[in-house]
Amino acid sequence: MTGTVRRSRYDEFSAYVSSRGPALLRMARSLANNSSDAEDLLQAALVKTFFAWDRITSPSARDGYVRRAMVNTQISEWRRQRVAVYPTDQIPDQRVDDPSWKTDLADTVHRAIVRLPERQRTVVVLRYYEDLTEAQIARRLGVTIGTVKSTISRAAAKLREDADLAIDRATT
pLDDT digits (tens, 9 = 90+) for 71-85: 888 888 777 666 555
The ranges assigned to domains in the chain are: 1-83, 86-172
Is it true that 1-83 and 86-172 share their CATH fold?
no
pTM, whole model, 2 decimals? 0.47
pLDDT at 64: 87
pLDDT at 160: 83
DSSP count for the chain of H helices, then E strands: 7, 0
97: nearest Cα among 37, 139, 143 = 37
pLDDT at 134: 92
- State the Cα–Cα distance between residues 145 and 30, nearest whole angstrom: 22
- H/E run at residue 6: helix 2-31
Contact 122, 75 (CB under 8 A): yes
- H/E run at residue 137: helix 134-141
- Rounded to an integer, the average pLDDT of 107-111 is 76
State how far the alpha carbon of 109 is from the alpha carbons of 34, 53, 95, 112, 131, in Å. Answer: 15, 32, 16, 5, 17
122: nearest Cα among 151, 146, 86, 156 = 151
8-state DSSP, 133 = -
pLDDT digits (tens, 9 = 90+) for 140-162: 999 999 999 999 999 988 888 87
Look up the CATH architecture of domain 1-83.
Answer: Orthogonal Bundle (1.10)
Asked if the 86-172 domain carries CATH number 1.10.10.10, the reply is yes
Using alpha carbons only, how large is the chain's radius of gyration in Å? 18
- H/E run at residue 45: helix 35-51
pLDDT at 99: 47
Longest dimension (CA), the chain: 68
